[in-house]
Structure 1
Amino acid sequence: MEPDSAEETGRAGAPSPGAGSRSALARAFSEVLLRLTGPEARRRSTRDAALKDLSALLEATECARLFERSDEPHHKMPETLGEVAKALEKYAAPPQEEGGGDNGYSGVAEKAAEVALLFLKLLRKVEAAKKSPSEVCPEWKTGLRHLAGPIYVFAITHSLERSWSSPGSRAVAGEVLALLLHVTDCGSVAGFLRGENEEEKGRFTVILGLLKPSLNKESWKNNPAVKHVFSWTLRQVTRPWLSQHLERILPPSLLISDDYQTENKILGVRCLHHIVLNVPVADLLQYNRAQVLYHAIFNHLYLPEHHLIEAVLLCLLDLFPVLEKAQHWKGDTARPTTHCDEVLQLILTHMEPEHRLLLRRTYARNLPAFVGRLGILSVRHLKRLERVIIGYLEVYDGPEEEARLKILETLKLLMQYTWPRIACRLVVLLKALLKLICDVARDRNLTPELVKNALLQEATGCLILLDHCSQGQVKGLLARIPLSCEDSTVVSCIRRVQQGSERAPYLGI
């Protein structure tokens, strides 16, 4: 730092600084900014010296001087402080990792802790300015407006539990975020972004503006934290505030979801899902946005990654009502096939030969929602559903038996919606359910008793429904089994079927 600048800065606490000292203070901060962003910033010694000088400047300068505007057009302290905050945020940002490991992030947590202390000093200056009379420090609001965005991006970047953070850096970043919310009079991050009341605009637009240069096709992978900051921030803003930002949030969400890495695909799909849930239907249908979303998400169903499939199916289930709003059925013709039909057809195609347990569980977990969504129209897929249901009921699914329980739930829904078509499938379904009951009754594996009881209860419920659909034929076919069967568990299930069928009317489905 220049000697004369340091000398002027040392007099920062003077009660009535002159114009020259104001310019000297602005030049001192500008010099620090140049050393953080200029060509010499590549040298660690230069950056370390700049950070130490910045810390000394903040400690030596009173809040009245810190946010004071200079008469010179190029030395405006609020704007300069904002640029310094941006430089500090970029300094602490994790670098692009080219080798696929975490070695490149080894020094990021230390940088973050160092920068966090500087941000805490800045925010405490703002806090002191708020408490002082307005005539003493009138420009603190302008300074806070320039500081809030970069400090927020820094705090979220290092608060997330990622490979570049450590418990220490996360803790100090959390302190920065808490103090930022305090000085902005916000009770939560959501309030900070959208505004605490109707008169307050909120800072979501500012944050998106800061992230935008790093969220285009050429640059979004240069900083691995940007996608996580964008995703986390997006999910804090809900309806009705989100719709006004649709043009800014949709392109980066689609960009992230279209990446070749599964992790990024999942992150992007979750962003799109949040948009679907929190943007009005009319806005999603405008300019064919809903169709764009559908095709972008649908293509991920061809990838055999269970976490991705789970995110995609959940998103599609909430997107179907939006897409159906654009369809008009007059009632005098057959109902047209829907996007839900198309997705269910593909799911069933993938389910039949699938042998990987995690994918089988993922498909089975979401199958009841698709049958419930289509209702009686699931009759279009009855043959394939029958094959999938029988095939999945035959395979042991591990101690929790999640897949078989969900398949039984699917079968129960299917019989309720399509009961006139079930009687002709009586023998096939009856054999599958009886085999399942016998297998569970003889199971000596590590399956918990609660899970076994749940399977037997669901299978018995399906037999009762099957009896209703077939006008009592199941009860007649099972009548002789208790006479010859020695397994008390199987006999108990059959007794419950007979008693349930007697109490309930056949057509009460």
Structure 2
Amino acid sequence: MKLDSAEEKAGAGRSPPAEGSPGALERAFSKILHGLSRQESSGRGHARNAALKDLGALIEAAEGDTLFEGSGSGGSPRGMPETLGQVAKALEKFAAPKETADGGEEHPEVPEKAAEVGSLFLKLLGKVESAKSSPDCPAWTTALRHLSGPAYVFAITHRLKQPWTSPKSQHVAGEVLSLLLRVTECSSVAGFLYGENEDDRGRFALVLGLLKPHLNKDTWKKNPAVKHVFSWTLQQVTQPWLNQHLEKILPPSLLISDDYQTENKILGVQCLHHVVVNVPAADLLQYNRAQVLYHALLNHLYMPEHHLIQAVLLCLLDLFPVLEKGLHWKGETARATTHCHEVLQLVLTHMEPEHRLPLRRTYASSLPAFVKRLGILTVRHLKRLERVILGYLEVYDEPEDETRLKILETLKLVMQYTWPRLRGDRRISCRVVVLLKALLKLICDVARDTVPTTEAAKTAVLQEATDCLILLDHCSQGRVKGLLAKIALSCEDSTVVSCIRKVQQGSADSPGDDPEDD
């Protein structure tokens, strides 16, 4: 490699450059930076190594006051701090993984490059740490502002196990992050981002500024690490610090969630969920943001991916109160649960014909939250809920029977919310026999050990089914006890008889207490 006269500057003494004027040192850094950028694009390994070694020699040889001072004669107007910032940005970019031509996940050169770059970041931050103890070098604060953002992005890119990392690069990245927190006097990454005192405004905006050029529709896939850095960084910042950055975080979150790859969809939805939980409703309702989020999330419910469905439903359940608050402000209280009704209707529609166990488990796990959200208004979905409950009670979900346990919990909640208002109503009484048969069949199947579930799961299912029978008896004004009386006399299975006895001895008030009256 020939880096103009940069190598001569560095090689002539991996000490003389540091002893010269700040302007001379700045020019030496600038020339190596130019050569490094040129070799990074050409990909020549030997030339790259030489440039990194020259850069390391310059950093080691430079004295703190010279390294961080403003420029001398002949230097740029902005001086050494900004030059060091440009060097840090170039190093971070140099070590970042790039999109492969075939779209694969192999990045064989990146771990080695990251380890080399990490050692240079350690040297730079080490110089800052040394300069902090020197009263004659106040310029280190300005240099640190320029170094901290690229050093953080580098550390988060390489610190966890990824296709572009190795144990060595992860270790070096972890050391860079630890030293960065120590130099900035922050106790955590969150404190580094949002600031730990009134005088420290944090560096979240700085990091977002560095990521922004890589987070538009044309660039975000060119660096496979940038989405992870953005997502992880976003989730470190909570309220009340997040809302002021809303315009910078919503577009990339929506962009990632709208990708065709399920992995990216889930990552984007998790970002959106963090925003929903940590941004005040007033800010989300402004400019119709909440409606945009709602429709973006609703579209994902048509995808047959259980991990994605789970992430979307969790996010929607936290978004409903925001949407309802907006309707209340508009005086539309009668429509306050419109969105929740719409989603539950769609979920039940998808649940009925679904035969894949992971999706059935995911849908079932969300039903109790929907019933709690709607309360008595669940009666609007009673007919379809009944079909889903009966269908899902027939199929076990080994080994823990999670699906049927959630369905039994849903049935209990439906009866708890509706029975005080519908007791004696034909809408409940006409379903008593159907539900009774389904629950008894479930108890018999579990008692006879015809399903391969664990003992703990069997015990839980029997208990939940028994509680449902007790509630059903309250709803039917004692009709269930009458129907069970003859069965208890003729049944020979002790487990089934024990459950029936519990129903016959069940309290007339506690299990059926209306949750809304608590």
TM-score in terms of structure 2 length: 0.93
Q: Cα–Cα, structure 1 residues 329 and 500, in superposed 2: closer, same or farther, change >3 Å?
A: farther
CA distance in 1, matches of 2:103, 2:453: 39
Q: 1:250 deviation in Å?
A: 0.5
CA distance in 2, matches of 1:485, 1:220: 66
- Deviation track 1:174-195 (CA, whole Å, cap 9, x = no partner) reads 1100000000000000000000
Q: 1:132 deviation in Å?
A: 1.1
Corresponding residue for 1:141?
Answer: 141
**1:24-423 equivalences in 2 (<5 Å):** 24-38=24-38, 41-42=41-42, 43-71=44-72, 72-74=74-76, 76-103=79-106, 105-133=107-135, 136-328=136-328, 338-419=338-419, 420=422, 421-423=427-429
CA distance in 1, matches of 2:9, 2:120: 24
CA distance in 2, matches of 1:437, 1:215: 54
Equivalent pair of 2:59/2:124 in contact (CA under 8 Å): yes
Q: Cα–Cα, structure 1 residues 329 and 377, in superposed 2: closer, same or farther, change >3 Å?
A: farther
Is there any run of 5+ residues in structure 1 with no aligned partner, and where? none
Corresponding residue for 1:436?
Answer: 442
- Deviation track 1:43-71 (CA, whole Å, cap 9, x = no partner) reads 22222111010011111111111101113
CA distance in 2, matches of 1:267, 1:157: 16
Q: Residue type matched to 1:207 in 2?
A: V
Q: Residue type matched to 2:64 in 1?
A: C
Moved more, 420-429 or 93-102: 93-102
Q: For residue 151 of structure 1, give the secondary structure of its aligned residue in structure 2.
A: helix
- Deviation track 1:398-441 (CA, whole Å, cap 9, x = no partner) reads 11100000000000000011211422211111111011001111
CA distance in 2, matches of 1:227, 1:273: 16
Q: Cα–Cα, structure 1 residues 275 and 337, in superposed 2: closer, same or farther, change >3 Å?
A: closer
Q: For residue 264 of structure 1, give the secondary structure of its aligned residue in structure 2.
A: helix
Q: Residue type matched to 1:106 in 2?
A: P
Identical-residue share of aligned pairs (%) = 72
- Deviation track 1:128-185 (CA, whole Å, cap 9, x = no partner) reads 000111xx21210000000000000000000122111122211111110000000000
CA distance in 2, matches of 1:22, 1:331: 66
Does residue 10 (structure 1) correspond to residue 11 (structure 2)? The answer is no
CA distance in 1, matches of 2:56, 2:22: 18
**1:488-507 equivalences in 2 (<5 Å):** 488-501=494-507, 503-504=508-509
Corresponding residue for 2:3?
Answer: none
Q: Residue type matched to 2:134 in 1?
A: S
**Structure 1 segments of 4 or more deviating over 6 A?**
329-333
CA distance in 2, matches of 1:329, 1:51: 60
Q: 1:2 deviation in Å?
A: 4.9
Equivalent pair of 2:213/2:219 in contact (CA under 8 Å): yes
Equivalent pair of 2:84/2:143 in contact (CA under 8 Å): yes
CA distance in 1, matches of 2:333, 2:132: 68
Q: Residue type matched to 1:62 in 2?
A: E
CA distance in 2, matches of 1:457, 1:329: 44
Equivalent pair of 2:231/2:267 in contact (CA under 8 Å): yes
Q: Cα–Cα, structure 1 residues 41 and 393, in superposed 2: closer, same or farther, change >3 Å?
A: closer
Aligned residues: 500
Q: Cα–Cα, structure 1 residues 385 and 334, in superposed 2: closer, same or farther, change >3 Å?
A: same
CA distance in 2, matches of 1:429, 1:488: 22
TM-score in terms of structure 1 length: 0.95
Q: For residue 328 of structure 2, give the secondary structure of its aligned residue in structure 1.
A: coil
Corresponding residue for 1:472?
Answer: 478
Q: Cα–Cα, structure 1 residues 12 and 4, in superposed 2: closer, same or farther, change >3 Å?
A: closer
- Deviation track 1:245-292 (CA, whole Å, cap 9, x = no partner) reads 001001000110011111110000000000000000000000000000
Q: 1:375 deviation in Å?
A: 0.5
Alignment equivalent of 2:456, drawn from 450, 468, 477: 450
Q: 1:3 deviation in Å?
A: 3.3
Q: 1:445 deviation in Å?
A: 4.5
